[in-house]
A and B are shown apart, each in its own frame.
Chain A
Amino acid sequence: MLAQSRLGKTALRPLVQSRNLFFLPTLASAATGFFLRDSIRLANSLEDNVNQRKSSNDVILEESEIKPYFSRPAKKYPNHIPLYPYEKVAMFVTSAIGAFLHPEKNQYIVALGESTAIPPFLKRLRKQMLDDETGRQILKDRPNITSTSLDLDKLAALPENTFGRTYYEWLKREGCSPDTRVPVRFIDDEELAFVFQRYRQCHDFYHALAGLPISREGEIAVKFFEFLTLGIPFAGMGAVFAPLNIRKSQRDRLLTIYYPWAISSAANCKKHLINVYWENIMEKDVNELRDELGITLPPDMRELRRIAREKRRALQANPSPTP
């Protein structure tokens, strides 16, 4: 008997270890797993403290519960719309095409601005705010610029030379209001969303300070200036691509007058513009403020456009001037 069992062992060992049958142990454990699957599941659920006393009704209920096909992650702030990465990419592509073809449509501009405001840029902007006393104050106060918070009637009553009055006059001339700014929705971090919101709301102050209109041409000039001072990627894209889509005379005007103005103003800018607490300096003299920030007043764009238009009309009315 002893001899027999020994024989059995020696016969078995080469069988298992032989090269062709190396998969046997794997197969054996898989088979064992298959036959013991219920016991294994029970053991696992015991180990994981899963409630064992579920009635069959509970199980049926649980399985019949319809799970939503698509669900959004939780919001981080009231206006937040959390997007999945593929949605962000899709938003970037569609808004970029839309903004190029239809720059007058606000929804494309807003979406493109937010989809290009990727965290590294916003974090750098926040770092610049954290490094500055006023910037920190802004981050703490979280001011929201609206027509009520600014009190436009009060601004209208300010003396001619103040910044507040200049801003008010500019709003009136361009026919817009601080309430037209859309809240930030797609930036995932709550504080970074505020930083971007602040940038967006301060955009009109740069317009007012430089006296540039909200026409396509004026926007491009301000965007280029913003890119140079604040480093907003979207503003840079606007400065590079938007001039491709405008009339040649406008492009020439931008390249000869307003781009040089933006470069020299940005180079001389003494304070990081995100760290200016605009709401608190409404009563300041506007020229004093320009000097303080190092921003010069560019030639009036509306005036230049008017002159160009008159020349063109004169040319049309009298195509071949008599010698």
Chain B
Amino acid sequence: MFRRFFATATKGANLVSDVVIVGGGPAGLTMASSLKNSPILRDLSCTLIESGDITSTLQDYYADPPETILNRCVSITPATIEYLDKIGAWKFVKKARTENYDYIHTYDGLTGAAMEFDSPDMATMIENFNIQASLHQRILELNSEQPVNPLDLRDNTKVVKITRDPKTSWPIVQLSSGDSIKTRLLVGCDGARSPVRKFARIESRGWAYNQWGVVATLKYKDSGFRSPTGWQRFLPTGPLAQLPFPDSWLSIVWSVPPELAVVLVSLSDDSFVTMLNAASRLSQEELDSLYDLARDEPEKLKEEAEWRLGLFNDNLTAEQEEKFPPMVESLVPKSRGRFPLKLSHADDYVDERLALVGDAAHTTHPLAGQGLNMGQADVKSLVSTLEKSRERGLDIGSKFALDPYYSERYPYNHAMLGVVDKIHRIYSTRSPLVVWARSLGVDALNNVPFVKDLMVGQVSHMKSTK
């Protein structure tokens, strides 16, 4: 009986769509608006499937954004902004809730060896929701321009199962709403645990970093004007990044071992703020004692951490003060979250009638802030690949037509994942020899401007070839 049920279900695809995008995150929405924006591809019928309730939440965000900055934020590069602008979505972004910063200050938690990067338009901090909401607005705009063949956005809909049509081998996506869609090209933008990738049986290789990223939104103490700066302290437990937003808001990504992440998330708001200030300034031995205290006697933590911070700040000269981020004043209640960090890279991005984009294809450590930007570059490359094959009259779903996307993006992404992984490795050790060598290297590099410019160019102004 089951066999019969599945058999009918497989055959009975009641809808057909040229492109089905699974996942309504930044990658999926960019993919959708980019397809509909392309003069060559916009006549394709296109469906986007998202399990969450995005239309109303994104509409709410756009109509009436919350007072505080949300905790899920990303740093986007000028190349990403350029692309969002090209597909017409950047004009919907709420600019007052983004911060363009020109300086990045990284420093070593064990030796204090620091490296300053400055370049105009280094990067921009933006909430994930801000990107998604602007893309959603762009999709609505495109749909009203093109009412005959609009993007079919199905949110609150889960993908139940993916099968292949036995005759044509086109993927059939079965939805929780009961519909099933047969498609020429299935695009997986469905995140790190991508069901689309699993359906395609594409192996994803990598390893878990023994770290979780703790995110939160906080506010700096008002201590006069300082130009917006991204701070990153490389502690042996993992990097602590403080990223600027307007009005003294900041967003943090604090990578720590899982057991410490549990402790940090369970601290009271005040203690967490003190602990964060301590982690951006105090020595590693002091922090180790404070972590133990946070685990065993959290009620005493605040007093002890403030005592240590007081000692530290009293000995600080005005010149040294510049080398540390300002003190954080308060935490937005309930803004703390945590997620596991891992490196993974899919063996292939494409298969017959299938392509993977963004986190579905690769995940990385957030220390370089490259995850979302790599996804955006993927979308750009995939869409231009589709445009080319359409112009040449190819079947856009065939592996032959999709392969250029894979060959263009895989090496670049692989190099980026590798570099980020090496940085993580160099900084997650306490071995004195490595610590000495890395500090020497950083001090040397910091005095060679053209090398720094090259590094900034690599992460900040990356432009995928057309």
The digit string for B294-313, where 1 denotes a CB below 8 A from any CB of A, is: 00000000001001000100
Question: Which B residue's beta carbon lies closest to that of A127?
Answer: B285
Question: CB distance A136 to B311 under 8 Å?
Answer: no
A190 proximity list for chain B (CB < 8 A)? 315
CA distance A90 to B98 in the complex (A): 57
Structural contact, B315 and A130, CB atoms closer than 8 A: no
Q: Which residues of A contact B286 (CB under 8 A)?
A: 127, 130
CA–CA, A136 to B285, complex, Å? 13
Given the interface pairs A131-B292, A136-B304, the reply to whether A126 lies near B311 with Cβ below 8 Å is no
List of B residues within 8 angstroms of A126 by Cβ: 285
Q: Does B288 touch A at the CB level, under 8 Å? A: yes
Count how many pairs of residues, one from A and one from B, have CB atoms less than 8 Å apart in the complex. Answer: 18
Please name the residue on chain B nearest to A129 by beta carbon: B289
Within 8 A of A (CB), among B56-78: none
User: Contact between A123 and B311 (Cβ–Cβ < 8 Å)?
Assistant: no
Contacts of B285 in A (CB 8 A): 123-124, 126-127, 130
| B289 lies within 8 A of A131 (CB) | yes
Is the CB–CB distance between A127 and B315 below 8 Å? no
Q: Does A169 contact B (CB under 8 A)?
A: no
Give Cα distance in the complex from A136 to B311, angstroms: 13
Once bound together, how far apart are the Cα atoms of A206 and B285, in whole Å?
27
Contact with A along B259-274 (1 / 0, CB 8 A): 0000000000000000
- Provide the bound-state CA to CA distance between A127 and B285, in Å: 6
Asked whether, in the complex, the Cβ of B307 is within 8 Å of the Cβ of A130, the reply is: no
Kindly supply a per-residue 1/0 record for chain B positions 311-324, scoring 1 wherever the CB is within 8 Å of any chain A CB and 0 otherwise: 10001000000000
Q: Do A130 and B289 have beta carbons less than 8 Å apart?
A: yes
Contact A140 B289 (CB under 8 A): no
* B-contact bits for A107-140, CB 8 A (1 contact / 0 none): 0000000000000000110110011000010001
Specify which chain A residues have a CB less than 8 angstroms from the CB of B304 in the assembled complex.
136
When distances are taken between beta carbons in the complex, the residues of chain A under 8 Å from B315 are 190
Q: From B307, which residue of chain A is reached at the shortest CB distance?
A: A140
Nearest CB of chain A from residue B295's CB, rounded to whole Å: 12
Residues in A with CB closer than 8 Å to B307 are 136, 140
A249 to chain B, nearest CB (A): 44
In the assembled complex, the Cα of A124 lies from the Cα of B285 at a distance in Å of 8
A89 to B307, CA, bound (A): 34
- A123 vs B315: C-alpha distance when bound (angstroms): 17
Residue of A nearest to B308 (CB): A130
Between B289, B304, B311, B315, the greatest number of chain A beta carbons within 10 A of the residue's beta carbon is seen for B289
**A-chain residues with CB within 8 Å of residue B311 when the two chains form the complex:** 191
A140–B289 Cα gap in the complex (Å)?
15
Q: Chain B's nearest CB lies how many Å from the CB of A193? A: 13
Q: How far is the CA of A126 from the CA of B304 in the complex (A)?
A: 14
Interface residues of A in 238-288 (CB under 8 A from B): none
* Identity of the chain B residue whose Cβ is nearest the Cβ of A76 in the assembled complex: B315
- Expressed in whole angstroms, the Cα–Cα distance for A190 and B286 within the complex equals 15
B314 CB to closest chain A CB, in angstroms?
10
Chain A residues contacting B288 (CB-CB under 8 Å) are 127
Please measure, in the bound complex, the distance between the C-alpha atom of A127 and the C-alpha atom of B283, giving whole angstroms: 10
Which residues from B are CB-within-8-Å of A124? Answer: 285
Closest to A189 in B: B315
* Residues of chain B with a CB closer than 8 A to A140's CB: 307
Residues of B close to A127: CB separation below 8 A: 285-286, 288-289
**A191 to B292 Cα, complex, angstroms:** 21
Q: B433 CB to closest chain A CB, in angstroms? A: 14
What's the minimum C-beta distance from A147 to chain B, rounded to whole angstroms? 29
* A190–B315 CA distance with the chains assembled, in angstroms: 9
Q: What is the minimal beta-carbon distance from A195 to any residue of chain B, in angstroms?
A: 12
In the assembled complex, the CB of A156 is this many whole angstroms from the nearest CB of chain B, namely 36
Q: How far is the CB of A271 from chain B (nearest CB, A)?
A: 17
Query: Whole-angstrom distance between the alpha carbons of A53 and B286 in the complex?
Result: 51
**0 or 1 for each of A176-214: is its CB under 8 Å from B? (1 = yes):** 000000000000001100000000000000000000000
Residues of A within 8 A of B289 (CB): 127, 130-131
Task: Determine which residue in A124, A136, A191 has the highest number of CB atoms from chain B within 10 A of its CB, and name it.
Answer: A136
Q: How far is the CA of A130 from the CA of B288 in the complex (A)?
A: 9
Q: Least Cβ distance of B290 to chain A in Å?
A: 8
Closest A residue to B300 by beta carbon equals: A133
A124 to B315, CA, bound (A): 21
**How far, in whole Å, are A127 and B293 apart by their CA atoms in the complex?**
13
Whole-angstrom distance between the Cβ of B417 and the nearest chain A Cβ: 36
Most A Cβ at <10 Å: residue of B285, B286, B288, B304: B285
Output the least CB separation between B460 and chain A (Å).
27
Nearest-Cβ distance from residue B124 to partner chain A, whole angstroms: 31
A140 to B311, CA, bound (A): 10
Residue in chain B with minimal CB distance to A123: B285
Within the assembled complex, what's the spacing in Å between the Cα atoms of A130 and B292? Answer: 10
B301 to chain A, nearest CB (A): 12
List residues of A (117-172) whose CB comes within 8 Å of B's CBs.
123-124, 126-127, 130-131, 136, 140
Q: How far is the CB of A191 from chain B (nearest CB, A)?
A: 7
> How far does the Cβ of B439 sit from chain A's closest Cβ, in whole Å?
16
* Chain B window 362-388, contacts with chain A (Cβ cutoff 8 Å), 1 for yes, 0 for no: 000000000000000000000000000
Instruction: Report the separation of the CA atoms of residues A127 and B290 in the bound assembly, to the nearest whole angstrom.
Output: 10
Residue of B nearest to A126 (CB): B285
The smallest beta-carbon distance between A293 and chain B, in angstroms, is 22
The residue on A at minimum CB distance from B432 is A120
The CA of A140 and the CA of B307, in the complex, are separated in Å by 8
Q: How far is the CB of B274 from chain A (nearest CB, A)?
A: 15
Distance in angstroms from A51 CB to nearest chain B CB is: 22
Interface residues of chain B, those whose CB is within 8 Å of chain A, are 283, 285-286, 288-289, 292, 304, 307, 311, 315
Closest 7 CB pairs of A and B: A130-B289, A127-B285, A131-B289, A123-B285, A130-B286, A140-B307, A136-B304
14 residue pairs of the A-B complex, CB under 8 angstroms, read A123-B283, A123-B285, A126-B285, A127-B285, A127-B286, A127-B288, A130-B285, A130-B286, A130-B289, A131-B289, A131-B292, A136-B307, A190-B315, A191-B311
Question: 10 additional contacts, CB 8 Å, given A130-B289, A136-B304, A191-B311?
Answer: A123-B283, A124-B285, A127-B285, A127-B286, A127-B288, A127-B289, A130-B286, A131-B289, A136-B307, A140-B307
